[in-house]
Amino acid sequence: MMARVEIAFELVALAIVVLAGTALAGRGHFPAPLGLIAIGILASYLPGVPTVHLSSDVVLLGLLPPLLYAAAIQTSLVDFNANRRSILLLSVGLVVFTALGVAVLVHLLLPGIPWWVAFAIGAVVAPPDAVAATTIGRRIGLPRRIVTILEGESLFNDATALVSLRTAVAAGAGGVELWRVGTDFLVASIGGAAIGFVVYVVVARMHRHVTDPILDTAISFVVPYATYILSEEVHSSGVVSVVVTGLLLGHKAPVIQTAQSRIAERMNWRTIAYFLENTVFLLIGLQARWILQEVGEGGVSAGRVVAVCVLTLVACVVLRIVWVFLARYLLVRPGPGSSTGQVPPASYTLLLGWAGMRGVVTLAAAFVIPEHAPYREVLLLVAFTVVAGTLFIQGLSLPVLARRLRVPSPDPMEDALARATVLQQASKAGFATLHDLEYDDRHGVFALLKQRIEQRNFAAWERLGTVADQEAPSELYTRVRLQMIAAERRRVLDIRRSGTVASEVIRDVLAMLDVEESMLDISQASRQEFRDTSAQRRTGDTCEDLAAFPAIDTVADPECGDCLREGTVWVALRQCLECGNVGCCDSSPRRHATAHFHETQHPVMESAEPGEDWRWCYLHHATA
Categorize the per-residue pLDDT at 460 as very low, low, confident or very high, splitting at 50, 70 and 90.
low
Residues 273-283 have pLDDT tens digits of 888 888 888 88
Provide the residue ranges of all domains of the chain, joining segments of one domain with +: 2-17+54-409, 413-531, 544-623
Architecture of domain 544-623: 2-Layer Sandwich (3.30)
**Confidence band for 337, pLDDT divided at 50, 70 and 90:** low
- pLDDT at residue 499 greater than cutoff 50: yes
pTM, two decimal places: 0.74
More confident residue, 437 or 341: 437
Residue 215 scores a pLDDT above 70: yes
Other residues' Cβ atoms within 10 Å of the Cβ of residue 618? 17
Mean pLDDT of 487-511: 86
Angle, alpha carbons 184-185-189 (nearest 5°): 120
pLDDT tens digit string along 588-607?
A: 778 898 889 888 999 898 88
Determine which of 153-157, 243-247, 604-608 has the lowest per-residue pLDDT on average: 153-157
Res 142: pLDDT: 72
Given this model, what pLDDT does residue 404 score? 83
Q: What is the mean pLDDT of residues 558-563?
A: 89
Q: Under a CB-based contact definition with an 8 Å cutoff, are residues 96 and 164 in contact?
A: yes
Cβ atoms of 338 and 82 within 8 Å: the answer is: yes
Side by side, the strands of the sheet bearing 604-607 are: 582-584, 573-576, 604-607, 615-617, 622-623
Q: Which residues contact 432 (CB under 8 A, 6 or more apart)?
A: none
Q: Are 375 and 117 in contact (CB under 8 A)?
A: yes
CATH of 2-17+54-409, one of 1.10.1040.10, 1.10.3720.10, 1.10.10.10, 1.20.1530.20: 1.20.1530.20
What is the average pLDDT across 391-410?
80
Mean pLDDT of 251-272: 86
pLDDT value of position 77: 85
In this structure, are residues 365 and 56 in contact, taking their beta carbons and an 8 Å threshold?
yes
Amino acid in position 473: P
Cα–Cα distance measured from residue 608 to residue 610, given in angstroms and rounded to the nearest whole number: 7
Is 294 a residue whose pLDDT tops 60? Answer: yes
Neighbouring C-alpha atoms within 13 Å toward the C-beta of 611:
13
pLDDT at residue number 537: 39
| Confidence class for position 540, pLDDT limits 50, 70, 90 | very low
Q: Provide the percentage of residues in the chain whose pLDDT is more than 70.
A: 84
Residue 538 — very low, low, confident or very high, per pLDDT cuts 50/70/90?
A: very low
Does 619 score more than 90 pLDDT? Answer: no
Task: Over range 116-123, report the average pLDDT.
Answer: 91
pLDDT reading at 368 higher than 90: no
Higher pLDDT residue, 431 or 514? 514
Min mean pLDDT across 421-425, 427-431, 563-567, 573-577 is at 421-425
Radius of gyration of the chain measured on its C-alpha atoms: 29
Q: Is the pLDDT of residue 197 over 90?
A: yes
Give me the pLDDT at residue 534, please: 43
| Residue 502 confidence (pLDDT) above 90 | no
Q: Which range in 12-16, 112-116, 243-247, 262-266 is most confidently predicted, on average pLDDT?
A: 243-247
